[in-house]
Structure formats: structure tokens, C-alpha cells
Structure 1
Amino acid sequence: MKQRFGRVRAVLTVLVTAGVLAGGGVAGGGSAAASGDALRAGRAAPAASGVTYAQFSLAVPRGTAHGHLLTVDLRRPGVSVDLLYAGSVGARKAVSAMAGAQRAVAGVNGDFFNITETQHPGVEPTGASVGPAIAAGQRLKSAVPDGQRFGPALPPGTTAEDVIAVGADRRARLDRLSLRGSVTTPDGRLPLRGLNLYALPVGGIGAYTPQWGTTSRVRATCGTDTDRAAPCSTDTTEVTVRRGRVEKIADTPGRGGVPEGTTVLVGREEGAQQLRKLSVGERVRVTERLAGQRPGAPRFAVGGFPVLRDGAPLPGLDTVASAVRTAAGVGGGGHVLYLLALDGTKGNAGLTIGELAWLMQRLGARDAVNLDGGGSSTLVLRDPGSGTATVRNHPSGGAERPVPNGIGVFARQP
């Protein structure tokens, strides 16, 4: 891989250098300065206790990519990360607004999301993200089918269920979170196929909780598992369950907030037919959990597809399409988190997915995910003594794009 990207003229010029880039690494995270052909380090610029901020430039065949990097030492007392979000799954806000509201010292944008619905006239986009999301240990949502994703094509061997997560042990990791749930009715148990999703699997049943918000649930029954643009289903049912009993049954998905103590079940095709067997007043029990492949339930998780695993870029990464990108990486045995966003200013080059994986590797990450990019790419940082988080990169749209979630960094500032 090093030889392959020799043509990239990979020279990182650190303009404002974080501690991990200044040599020696943070918490065993490894030092990017160790690869002298890739990096020239300068002075350290701490942003908060255990958090450092850097800018960098990278020469590529198309020009120069300029970017911004946060390095987070999760072993430092009082340092943590959690999901930034707008209060509900189907809502969007600017990263700076979410960071300010949650009193984060820094953050980047998160997962790809249901940004448009040009294929389904009259159906409004939900703004909900693609992959699983967990905030402060609370399960917010599961992943849509791979064919219903927004964003670049998935690299081989990855799915919409892939996340970057942090567990109760305060270690960051890559994981894969699958929904395990059921709907128990008087006639038996039905599989639950989605939690707060903008796209349900064909034939499935999804649960919508108060965390979904007020956004319409119609989009959940549009497209198929392999074709996001396929027509909306005409065979749907929505069942409102309040305090364990069926309160209402409707033929089509609705909109509006879901009250506390209430779960709305939406079914399509076979799932709709099973829900139509219910009657008002009958008892229904809904259970759900997100099961990971790593030990311990995550306290935080956000969707993103892996580009780097065990210190090596994944095979089959795209090396053609260049774009403004955001990424998150893990180093130091899970104790160091790298959060990166490129500049979108006109004249700055973007990176391919392959180049991004190589860059995260050179910065010290052993595992990394690609997050939403383009106009969504945003990195914010709070000035010491200020309650306001300001944008440090230049979003390609000229201003912050409202997004459904992000990765927030929490720490004490000087």
C-alpha cells in the first residue's frame, strides 16, 4: 500500500500540530511523525484536556487536500465521546448547534442520511441516518437494508450495520450492530425488522418510538432491499400500541410525534398482513436490542463504513472518485480517537476512499470508518472560555449543512 500511494506524493505539512503528531503518540496511539517521509511535525496545539487540534495539507495528483484533525485521548479523566443529535432520529441540525446544545468541546458530522427523495414524488425525506445509532447507552435506531443506503458504494465485506463505537470500558472500536427484536401478539411472535428506520426491509415490521420524532413514516415503505428508487408499497398497515395494548389500526403510515409509553408498528407486505390480524384492545409486547459482534454493549455508536481494519486498508476501496470527506479512526488499543474533516473550499482537492484509508493509517489509526462527506463534512471546536463551537473547516456548500448526527467530544477546557 505504501508503494501504491507513492505516486500521491504523500507529504503531510502540519500547520497547527496536535500532540499525537508532534511525536511519541498519545496513550500508545503511535506517532505519525515516525514515518518521516509522510509527516513533518510542528508545535503542539491543545484544545482541551486530552484533546488536540491540528491542520494538515496533503499533496495528491489532483492538487492539495487541506484538512483538520482532532486527536482524543480517551484515557484522560473527564474525556469522553458521545452522539451529537438533534433530539430525535428524524431531525437535523448544524454540527455547531448540536455541539453547543450538548456542551461538547469539539465534534464532527456523522452518518450518511436520507437527504432527498427525488425518486418518490410527494414523499418527504426523513433526514434519518443510514446506520445504527446509540446515544448515552440508549438505542436510537437500527440500520436500513444495504440497498436503501445513501452514500458511496460499500466496500466488499461491509454493511450498513457497521459502526464506530465506544463501550463502557471507554475504548473505541469498530463493531457491527444487528437488530434483535420481536412483536409478541395473541397469535404468536413476529420478527421485528427495524427500529426507527426510514426504510424497512420488504415484508418486514418496524417499531417507531418517541425517539423517532414528528417526521412522516411513509418513506419507510418505499423502495426495496436492493433498489432505493423502487415504488412505495401499496400493502401497508400501521398499529399504535399504547401501554401494551393496541390503541389504533390504520391502512397507511402516519406522521406526528409518538407519545411516551407508545410504540407505532409499521408493516409492509407480509408484515402488514400479520399486523392486520390484530384488533383494538389486544395485548402486544415489543422487544428490541442491538447486538454487536464485540463484547460489551456500546455506550455510543454511529454508522460509518470501514476503510481501515487491523492497520491495513480494506481490499477493493475506491481509488477513483475524489470528494470532501469526514472520517473517524481508532488507535492506541482503542484509547485514541482520530476525527478528521477535509476543507471544501474551491481549489482544495478531495481524497479518494483509498487515499483516506492510507491517510488515517499514517496518522496512527489501526481502524477507521468513512463518514458522510461533501457538503456535510464539518469539524467544530469550542474556544476556551466560550460556550460556542465554531466551524474550523470550510464546508463545501459555503455554510454548515444540517445533519442528523455527529460525534461529540467532551472534556475540560483550560
Structure 2
Amino acid sequence: MRRRRFGTGAAALALAAVGALAGAGGARAAAGPVTYSQSERLAHGVEYQEITVAAAAGTVHGHVVTVDLRDPRVRVDLLTPGAVAARAAVSQLADSRGAVAAVNGDFFDIDESQHPGVTATGSSVGPEIAAGRALKAAVPDAQRFGPALPKGETTQDVLGVGADRRARLDTLTLRGQVRTAAGTYPLGGLDQYALPVGGIGAYTADWGTTSRQRAVCGSDTSRAAGCSTDTYEVAVRAGHVVSTAGAPGTGQVPRGTTVLLGRDAGADTLRTLKVGDRVRVEEHLAAAGSRVPYAFAVGGFPVLRAGAPLAGLDDKTAATRSAAGFGDGGRTLRLLALDGSAESDAGLTVAELATVMAELGCDNAVNLDGGGSTTLVTRAPGAPGATVRNHPTGGAERPVANAIGVLSVR
């Protein structure tokens, strides 16, 4: 059994920052140190390890995959079920791409009990980029699922890997517009489960077959707010309106067609359009921090930046958590998943998670979906499928919206 301890450099700065936060807001123990046990090489540039951490709620067991992004024989991508509004188990997502490792990704629309009769879409909260292509934009902040965001952070926050093979924290903001003969109007959404009040959203074949009804529910201040009845849709193909409807639709959007869905003032704008009218829809995800195009990006809220935990990580709930982070100037990526209640009743607070990611050698990290979603899988060389390495809460994998996949390139 091999054991190693890390506690210098960025990790020491992180521990000091946690201590400062504790002094300002009451006693709070930092997690650590991290003890390593089992270690396996999964592929060139990919290593799996098991860890143990002493935390305030007790001993926590976790699973880490380390990826050397300098190695051209490995790459990272977003794994999806084939539609934005769909879910699948992490092992299934990994097997569909032959990934050597994967961890669950972003929080997602999991429950619509506050909107009777409305289907939970399974769509993720934040932006998605897979294989260099933008799949969706972020929902409004108030419509998100997950723990409270640190001050200044938004649903647009992502962890991504650029075409230069460097990992980064960034924000991806939807920039888009709908051009008509009567005027140009801002685009408020792209294949996302919630639209801003008064907005217009674009839905493409990437969305899938799930109803678009959820997009007009909630508000800019409350996810539980009711659903708007003032809605309108138009379908655009080859630059012209081909159909209209007075309510959100369902079913697969054909390739080459864009459905524009408006709520409230956005619906009023779309009602001015008739079949045959010329319409041009433009959209892209604009990065705030990098000019390098992203090969992959997944939503998640930052907990560690420049070697220190963010201020405002105040949730004191110890829970089963997942995270992704990077060090070495973005050249080393680490994926973490904790064991669930089947293995241990302990867990980490969000602040402790930040400390552990720093102990693992990360300078920057995001919190991913946790609880029953927390799943890390690996695939041994020559094995036909992936193996779940952690103990998911409840004893079985939960279908999730997306996952971070590690792919071996030969």
C-alpha cells in the first residue's frame, strides 16, 4: 500500500485561506491531509487512485483520476446521452465513447414537482461544449439546481479544456439575436430548460424529443414560480418561417430547423411573424477569459481559484460530492468522486472540498453535481466496459445529464 501526503505550495495557501475564513465566520475545520492508497495506470497519461481524508464529519473515502494533458495520447471531452434533454448512467456514457475514465458532470433539472404536469427535462444547468461544438447555454441563475453559488459566480461558469490542451475556468455567455424585417431581438436561450421572463429561446435538433414546456416555467427570481401561459413558437428553416404554434411543442426538431420559443414579451414578438417571413437566427457562446476555442466545457461552480478557496463557501452540509480541477498551468486535470452512504456516512462541506482539491495539486476547481449523482468509473485495458469505482449513494448509478470523459487516443 502506497501512501503520500501533500501540504505545500498551493495546498498550503488553500489551507491558510480556509483558516482565515474560519476565523472570520466561526470555527470550521479544514479537511486533510489526503492519504493515497491503491493506484492504477489506466492508459498513457491517465492514473487512478483511491484516497482517504479526515474531515469534520468523519473519515471520507474518495476516488481520483489524474490526466496529463501534455500527453497527446489522451484527451478529455464532454459525454452526453445524445440529446441535451436526456439522461444516462455515467458507465453507459463512458461505454458509448470507449472512455477509460469518467465522472458525472453538471447539476441538472431533476425534479418538477413544483410544476404539476410538467416533465423534468434532465437538461444540465450550465453551458455545454462537446467536440468543440456548443450544445447549450446556461439557464438564469435563479432557475438552477445545486448548492448556493458563491458571491459573483453564475450559471455561466465552466471548466473547459481548450484546443491548446490547457484546462481553464471561464464563463460562457450566450450572444445571439433574431433578425426579422421588423427588427432585431436578443436571443435569451439556446437549448436550455429555462428561459428568462420576456425572452426568446432557440431549440435545435440537439435538444431531443422532450417537451419544451419547462422552458416557460419559473421566473428570473424563483425556480418554483408558475408557468407562463403567454407563449408562442415559430419554426425557422432555410431562413424562413415554416410553421407557428400557440404553445411549446414536443418531439424531435428536424436537423436544419430552429424552433424559436417566446414567453411573455418574447411571445408578443414572435406573434408578428407569419409563415414565409424571413428570419435569421444567430448564436454563439462567448468566453470571457480565453481566445482559445474550447474543445470541451462543462458547467460547475468554482470553489478554488488561484490556489485559494472562494469566499462565501458557507454551506456547512457534509455531503457526497464530485469535483474537477487542474494544476500545472492547466496541464494536469484531476477528477474526484467521494463514496456515498453505502461506504461512509461522512462527507465534505463545499469549503472542505476546495481544500481537498488543493491538496490534490489543483490551483483551480469546480464543484460538480453531488449526492446520488456522484459517480466515477474507469475501464481497465482490454476490459469490455467501465467499472464503477466509488459507492454511489443509494447503491446504484443515477442517470445524469453529462459527464467528463477521458479518452485514450492511439
Band of TM-score, shorter chain: over 0.9
Does the CA-based 8 Å contact 1:130-1:303 persist in structure 2? yes
Change (3 A) 1:228 1:180: same
Could you say which residue in structure 1 is the equivalent of 2:385?
388
**2: CA distance, partners of 1:285 / 1:313:** 44
Alignment of 1:109-188 (within 5 A): 109-188=104-183
Question: 1:37 is matched with which residue?
Answer: none
> Counterparts of 1:116-265 in structure 2 under 5 Å?
116-265=111-260
Matched to 2:339, the amino acid is D
1:386 and 1:345 map into 2 onto residues whose CA distance is 28
For 1:52 and 1:324, the matched residues in 2 are separated by 22
Determine if contact 1:15/1:54 at 8 Å carries over to the other structure: yes
Query: Is residue 2 of structure 1 aligned with residue 15 of structure 2?
Result: yes
Q: Give the C-alpha shift of residue 349 in structure 1.
A: 0.9
Match of 2:371 among 370, 374, 391: 374
The size of the alignment, in residue pairs, is 386
Q: 1:27 is matched with which residue?
A: none
Shift of 1:12: 2.1
The answer as to whether partners of 1:319 and 1:355 remain within 8 angstroms in 2 is no
State the TM-score, normalized to the length of structure 2.
0.92
Q: Percent sequence identity over matched residues?
A: 61
Runs of 4+ in 1 over 6 A off after TM superposition: none
Gaps of 5+ in 2: 1-13, 23-27
Describe the SS at the equivalent of 1:177.
strand
What per-residue deviation string (whole Å, max 9, x for no partner) do you get for residues 56-77 of structure 1? 1111222111000000000012
Q: Does 1:345 align with 2:341?
A: yes
Root mean square deviation of aligned Cα: 1.3
Deviation at 1:242, TM superposition (A): 1.7
Q: Determine the C-alpha separation between the residues in 2 that align with 1:77 and 1:365.
A: 21
Q: Measured at CA, do residues 77 and 223 of structure 1 come closer, stay the same or move farther in structure 2, by a change above 3 Å?
A: same
Letter in 2 for 1:244: G
* Aligned: 1:16 with 2:38: yes
Residues 249-273 of structure 1: CA deviation (Å, up to 9, x unaligned): 1110010000011000000011100
One-letter amino acid of the structure 1 residue matched with residue 89 of structure 2: A
Are the equivalent residues in 2 in contact too, given 1:56–1:67 (CA < 8 A)?
Answer: yes
Give yes or no for contact 1:48–1:412 (8 Å, CA) kept in 2.
no
Contact 1:111–1:303 (CA under 8 A) maintained in structure 2: yes
Given that 1:66 and 1:348 are in contact with CA atoms closer than 8 Å, whether structure 2 keeps it comes out as no
Residue 211 of structure 1 aligns to a residue whose secondary structure is: helix
Report how far residue 132 of structure 1 moved. Answer: 0.2
Once residues 315 and 183 of structure 2 are traced to their aligned partners in structure 1, the CA distance between those partners, rounded to angstroms, is 50
Give the Cα separation in 1 of the matches to 2:48 and 2:181.
57
Q: In structure 2, what is the Cα distance between the partners aligned to 1:127 and 1:270?
A: 27
Shift of 1:117: 0.2
Provide TM-score, normalisation by structure 1. Answer: 0.91
The answer on whether the counterparts of 2:160 and 2:297 sit within 8 Å (CA) in structure 1 is: yes
The C-alpha deviation readout for 1:233-292, integer Å capped at 9, x for no partner, is 111001111221111111100100000110000000111000000011111111100000
Give 1:211's aligned amino acid. Answer: D
List per-residue Cα deviations over 1:289-341 (Å, max 9, x = no partner). 00001222211000000000011100111251111000000111111000000
SS at match of 2:15: coil
Q: Which residue of 398, 401, 404 maps to 1:404?
A: 401
Q: Structure 1: which 5+ residue stretches go unaligned?
A: 18-44
Q: Return the alpha-carbon distance in structure 1 between the equivalents of residues 409 and 134 of structure 2.
A: 27
Letter aligned with residue 359 of structure 1: V
Matched position secondary structure for 1:393: coil
Residue in 2 that maps onto 1:92: 87
What is the CA–CA distance in structure 2 between the aligned matches of 1:113 and 1:7, rounded to whole Å?
A: 30
Deviation at 1:348, TM superposition (A): 3.7
CA distance in 2, matches of 1:300, 1:121: 35
